[in-house]
Amino acid sequence: MSKTLGIILIGDVDQTIGKFLQQNLLNCFDIFQKVLIFEKTEKIPKEAYNKVRGQYLSTPFLNLVKKRAEKEKYFKAIGVTEVDLYVPSLNFVFGVAISRACMISIHRLNPKFWGVGGLTNQNLFLERTLKESIHELGHTLGLSHCENYCIMRFSNTIMDTDDKPKEFCSNCSKKLLKIHK
């Protein structure tokens, strides 16, 4: 199997986000031979919406990404959506991962969500999107949360995301090398 990373846009995600991730994720991971954007934007799973919370359960999104990864024979796949995701035990999630599939929500990564708008924050938005993508892909590659100054540090708030680096710490880098020799 080719070590292809698939990017799957779900909902009304701007294509430039997919292209940005395609250009940057290949440089972040030696393990992927190529990064492809799935040509068809997927529809948001209707069954995921929780009217009480006004959010979307992440599980149907992950299942969609996992099925697409299997069908397209992607080594790993990441889904990207603009809707607000949650898991039952948390108020929200920036992202989630299972086996070969992961999912990020750009909803709370956008500075506009926090009341800070304007084009000057596009770089911050893209940096957050890349960080959460790297983090969730790290999980699909076998890494767990890390306490070091590392991309694998858990983000409970947007400040946590802003404060962590885009890189793996030396411990996580060694683990990745060991797992994927």
Look up the pTM and report it. Answer: 0.94
DSSP, residue by residue, 48-110: GEETTTTEEEHHHHHHHHHHHHHHHT-SEEEEEESSPEE-TTSS-BSEEEETTEEEEE-TTTS
pLDDT for residue 65: 98
* C-alpha distance across the termini of the chain, in Å: 15
CA–CA distance, 3 with 9 (Å, rounded to integer): 20
Give me the phi and psi of 54, to 5 degrees please. Answer: 70, 30
**Spans of the chain, pLDDT less than 70:** 1, 116-120
| Superfamily for the 4-179 domain | Collagenase (Catalytic Domain) (3.40.390.10)
Q: Which residue of the set 82, 136, 147, 167 is catalytic?
A: 136
Give the pLDDT of residue 115: 78
What is the Cα–Cα distance from 81 to 101, expressed in whole angstroms? 14
pLDDT digits (tens, 9 = 90+) for 75-102: 999 999 999 999 999 999 999 999 999 9
Residues 75-88: b if buried by 16+ CB within 10 A, e if exposed: bbbbbbbbbbbbee
Sequence spans of domains, the chain: 4-179
Is residue 136 part of the annotated active site? The answer reads yes
